[in-house]
Homo-oligomer: A and B are copies of this chain.
Amino acid sequence: MNRNNDVFETTFHVRFAETDQMGVVHHAVYAVWFEEGRSQWMRARGRDYAEFDAGGINLAVTELRIRYHRPARYGRRVTVRTCMKSVRSRGMEVSYEVVDSDSGDLLVTGNTRHVSTDRSGRVVRIPDEWVRFLSPER
C-alpha cells in the first residue's frame, strides 16, 4: 500500500470485547475495523456514508480478503490505513493495512470489493457526485 495522500489513517484502542479466549482480537473483528476505516475516510473528505445510505443506495460488500500477520491485543492502539483502489460506475475496491500504532508492526492486510445497490438489492449506478467524491484521484 502506498503512503501518499490517498491513504487515510484512523487510530483507536482495541476494545476488551473484541478479544477472544486466545487472548487476542478475534479474526472477524478486522472486517468491522475495515468498515470503520471506510467511514472515517469519507468523513475526512467531508461527507458521511450515513448520507449515502439515506439516499437509498448501499455499497454492499461482495468480497472480503484478510491476511493475518500478527495478533492485535487489548490495551494497544491500532491504526487502520484505508486506501481507495478503484471506483467504477457500479462499485469500488478498497484496501487496508492495520498496524500497531506504537510499534508500527503490521498486523493484518486486506481488501474489500463493493457493489452499489438500491434498497431492494438491485445493482444500480453510483450517482455521479458520489463517484467523483469516492475517486482516489480527487
Chain B residue numbers with a CB within 8 Å of A133 are: none
Known: A28-B28, A32-B28, A60-B22. A16 touches B68 (CB 8 A): no
Minimum CB distance partner of A29 in chain B? B28
State whether the Cβ of A94 lies closer than 8 Å to any Cβ in chain B.
no
| Interface-facing stretch out of A45-53, A85-93, A95-103 | A45-53
Chain B residue numbers with a CB within 8 Å of A16 are: 20-21, 35-36, 39, 49
Copies per complex? 4
CB of A59 to closest CB in B, whole Å = 10
Chain B residue numbers with a CB within 8 Å of A121 are: 71
State whether the Cβ of A12 lies closer than 8 Å to any Cβ in chain B.
yes
The residue from B13, B21, B22 contacting A39, defined by CB atoms under 8 A apart: B13
Q: In whole angstroms, how far apart are the Cα atoms of A74 and B22 in the complex?
A: 12
Minimum CB distance partner of A59 in chain B? B22
Q: In whole angstroms, how far apart are the Cα atoms of A68 and B115 in the complex?
A: 10
6 cross-chain CB contacts under 8 A: A13-B39, A16-B35, A16-B49, A21-B24, A63-B66, A65-B66
